[in-house]
Homo-oligomer: A and B are copies of this chain.
Amino acid sequence: MIVTTTDPRDGRQHPTDLVETDESGVAAIAGQASRAAQWLFDRGRTGRAELLEAVAAALESRRADLVATAEAETGLGRARLDSELTRAAVQFRMFAAVLRDGGYLEAAIDHAADTPLGPGPDVRRMLVPLGPVAVFGASNFPFAFSVAGGDTASALAAGCPTVVKAHPSHPLTSRASADAIASAVRDQGGPEGVIAAVYGEQAGRSLVRQSPIRAAALTGSVGAARAIQAAIDERADPIPLYAELGSVNPIVVLPDAAASRSDQIAEGLFASFTASGGQLCTKPGLAFLPTGPGGDRLVDTLRAQVADAGGMVLLNERIRDAYESGAAALEKAGARLAARPRIDAGAGFTVAPTLLEVDLPGLTAEIADECFGPLMVVVRYRDVADLDAALAAVPPSLTGSVHSGPGDDIEAVRGLVDVLTARSGRIVFDGYPTGVRVSWAQHHGGPWPSTNAVHTSVGATSIRRFLRPLAWQNAPDWILPDELRDEYTAIPRRIDGRWVPGIDRQP
């Protein structure tokens, strides 16, 4: 079947020169990935770091073409896509630094020693690649969470060839991204199969059933995760699925913050919930704002901003329809319409941003449900003491945010943070959850339903998903990986229980 692409700005569908990958095509690609694994492993950390840097350079050298292609397929706008391509390149470069540092290997050496249980053998441990990985591209990040995204960068860094199931919202961008990465692989002398893309729903399900595939990563919906898990369950040997799913990302604004910074917070909230058409997994979907003059002013400002906003182009018809039916469901469940501009819907998947409002006692599970797109529900609370219970009824999320002022009760902040800690993966203070920093300490994950895993999909430690430990017992020196030999000192290691930093990296 021919793969089509749709411009969400006018809703027109166009045929492409791509066809959906059939079962035998998927099997062939998985086989190539399997054969490419040895090359990737043999390059070692330095060689893979160079490859990732070459990928970053290849992406940037094709920036104009990649951004134009993605703009026509996603309607996300040139500025956002330009910045997202930079982010994709930054991610590849970050993993090059992760490889050079080497700490991600968790290398550990226990020399032979007498123990309370008798003589203990020499045991050395580090992480090794899992094998080829299946990545499911996300609709909302054609670069940073798709073929050239963080899952691919971390999997390649780990030493795992990667096959990406292209998202149907941006097949041409996916192909162009795969081409860019493949060209960097070729320039480094690498074989086919280090990177590949497959197209079509059926190809995605087929992919995770291929025996060479050793793990899968998804940024998408709970429904997509269930479908992929069902395909994985058909395997004789289970493989891990790392899924980053839905999230409502509650934000709490305490009374003194509202009183002292109402305009600033209104502006921040508006920007955060409408950025990229609200199509971010970290979009704040619920904002708890106090009653009283500070909260009223904040809501008035927000309302005015939303009323003045223009239409926003969503990624595809399904997302547009889900947004409109989701907004209608929230209103039916009792959320009042606070603001929604009249827009020229015209052609394409353009929608109006929506601000809804509910008084805290009226916050139900239906209203706390995620609505993907530029919609936020303001929850007005009268008493800070009611917030803990209210937040405990909001589904666990990737993030939870608290805005406070010097006049707010410090114990209330502490209590809120405790509740949010139990129910999210990142706590944001006096800020907004969107704009996830790509760095060593980042964590992008959280309790179900925000993810299904105890791992992150953003930041240096996301590489851990594609590695498994291996131990060598009484191994002769010549068979050990360099990183586990006694004389090797370039990476941080745990030796006989004690952390020893990599001395090449110390000042």
Contacts and interface: CB of A to CB of B under 8 A. Distances in A.
A35 to B, nearest CB: 13
A441 B103 contact: no
Interface stretch (A11-19, A105-113, A295-303): A105-113
Interface string A230-246: 00000001101000000
B90 A425 contact: no
B441 A494 contact: yes
A285 interface: no
A425 B479 contact: no
24 contacts: A87-B117, A90-B116, A117-B438, A118-B435, A120-B437, A123-B442, A128-B421, A131-B422, A410-B478, A424-B470, A426-B472, A427-B470, A427-B471, A440-B494, A440-B496, A441-B494, A443-B470, A447-B468, A454-B467, A454-B468, A454-B469, A460-B497, A461-B469, A499-B502
A9 B238 CA distance: 38
Nearest to A413: B479
Nearest to A459: B125
A117 B103 contact: no
Interface in A454-477: 454-456, 459-461, 467-476
A447 B456 CA distance: 22
A101 interface: yes
Consensus secondary structure, chain A interface: mixed
Contacts of A469: 425, 443, 445, 454-456, 461
Interface string A473-507: 11110110000000000001010111111100100
Interface-central residue, A120, A131, A431, A473, by most chain B CB under 10 Å: A473
B447 A237 contact: yes
A507 to B, nearest CB: 9
Nearest to A240: B454
Interface-central residue, A427, A435, A439, by most chain B CB under 10 Å: A439
Contact of A426 (B106, B110, B471): B471
A208 to B, nearest CB: 14
Interface residues of A, number: 82
B499 A441 contact: no
Interface of A: 83, 86-87, 90, 97, 101, 103, 106, 108-110, 115-118, 120-121, 123-125, 128, 130-131, 237-238, 240, 410, 413-414, 417, 421-422, 424-431, 435, 437-443, 445, 447-449, 452-456, 459-461, 467-476, 478-479, 492, 494, 496-502, 505
Contact of A237 (B445, B449, B476, B496): B449
B441 A124 contact: yes
A385 B392 CA distance: 62
B427 A475 contact: yes
Given A421-B470, A429-B472, A469-B454, A499 B103 contact: yes
Given A116-B86, A237-B448, A237-B449, A472 B439 contact: no
Given A130-B454, A425-B469, A441 B501 contact: no
Given A431-B121, A448-B238, A501-B501, A441 B90 contact: no
